Amino acid sequence: MQDIADHLKISKNSVSQALTGKPGVSEATRKLVETTAEELGYQYTKPRKQTEDTNQHPKNIALIASEYAFSLKSFFGEIYLSIEKEVKKRGMNLFIESVQIDASQESRLPELLKNHEIDGILVLSHVTTDYIISLINTGKPVVLIDHHDPLLQADAILTNNRFGAYNAVKHLIEDGHKEIAFIGDVEKSPSYQERLEGYSLALKRHNLVMNPDYIYSSIKEEQPNIFEIIFQSKELPTAWFCVNDGFGFHVLSGLQQKGISVPDEAAVCSFDNGQLSQISTPKITTMDIDLNYFGRKSVEQLLWRMDHKDEPFQEILLSPELLVRGSTLKGE
């Protein structure tokens, strides 16, 4: 390679990239290096073209998630169906395995990695950090879906939770509300912590003081817990920003059972645009996430990562859209 480099007055690295088929040199330089190598009498194995390799060996993609994530059909189920459709459209194979609690705690790798030649891994939502690190340590390209962590060196497809929450709370403020509660369990997901940060930013930008009495950031998503807050509080806020639609549904029900009219006396806004936000009366204003695009973008990013293994890791934020419904529209 050094002889060829000296002959053409280019770097040895460029010669290596040309002869191995790696990106970084132009097609003209690649052909020139190959021709020069043959003229100088050197023999080397030419890399197979990408199209030939793809046709002979369809890529195998693994989709891994906890049993809990797979059970949430109205959210992660839609992402899974989109992934399945996109993988099939691209002529690849999809292998799916749920991770049981004991396997995640012991960082026991899924059987499909042993039984199949897997080219890339999609991890749907959170398992455990140690478990995901074990997947990354296999050396296979990994893309995280709706989850990230400072310790995880992998690409991630995420909702822009901070700005989404900011826009939801901004909507409540513009409707005239100054006492706005936050409710959700931020320990459950990094997404929920980010939504709290977006809530806080919206109050700060609009010169509103965050009232600690209205921050319910460690409440489990269970009706009795939420009803207890509503029925035992002497003073309630005029608006509620709920970290997801489950909290929104329970808050709405609790307020109504206490005799508080929604939206005339209190407004409710949530996140995700799941089924619960759509079947409530009134329907709940929420932040809509394009789950179909979530799945397509995840597959697209994994394929990109397979071809660019040395590029810096990326976190791609998908912006949610505010859907204004009856829970914040007076007179609706």
DSSP string covering 63-95, please?
Answer: EEEEHHHHH-TTTHHHHHHHHHHHHHHTT-EEE
What is the number of structural domains in the chain? 3
Q: What is the pLDDT of residue 112?
A: 87
Considering the domain architecture, whether residues 2 and 71 belong to the same structural domain is answered as no
Residue 222 has pLDDT above 90, yes or no: yes
* DSSP codes, 252-281: HHHHHHTT--TTTT-EEEEEE--HHHHHSS
Whole-number Å distance between alpha carbons of 75 and 7 = 59
In 10 A of CB 287, how many CB atoms? 28
* Tokens linked to 319: 């912006």
Domain-embedded: residue 236: yes
pLDDT over threshold 80, residue 288: yes
Co-location of 121 and 183 in the same domain: no
The predicted structure's pLDDT at residue 118: 93
Asked whether residue 83 carries a pLDDT value surpassing 80, the answer given is yes
pLDDT-above-70 percentage for the chain = 94
Tell me, yes or no, whether 122 and 192 share the same domain.
no
Q: Average the pLDDT over each of 112-116, 170-174, 304-308, 328-332 and give the range with the smallest value.
A: 328-332
pLDDT at 47: 63
Q: What percent of the chain shows pLDDT beyond 90?
A: 70
| Residue 7 covered by a domain | yes
331, pLDDT greater than 80 = no
183 and 243 share a domain? yes
Domain limits for position 280: 161-289
State the pLDDT at residue 84.
96
> How many angstroms separate the CA atoms of 28 and 124, rounded?
42
* 141 domain-assigned: yes
pLDDT of 276 higher than 90: yes
With a cut of 70, say whether residue 263 has pLDDT above it. yes
What per-residue confidence (pLDDT) applies to 234? 87
Q: What does the DSSP assignment read for 91-115?
A: T-EEEEEEE-HHHHHTT---THHHH
Structure-model confidence comparison of residues 15 and 190, the more confident one: 190
Q: Average pLDDT over the chain, rounded to whole?
A: 91
What pLDDT sits at residue 39?
A: 83
The enclosing H or E element of 60 equals: strand 60-66
pTM: 0.79
Assess whether 202 and 104 both reside in one domain.
Answer: no
Which pLDDT does position 26 carry in this prediction? 76
Q: Are residues 180 and 274 in the same domain?
A: yes
pLDDT tens profile 11-57 = 877 778 788 776 666 777 888 888 888 888 877 666 655 444 444 57
Residue with the bigger pLDDT between 21 and 129: it is: 129
∠ at Cα 324 (244, 68), nearest 5°? 20
The reply to whether 149 and 198 lie within a common domain is no
Q: Which two tokens stand for residue 323?
A: 């859907």
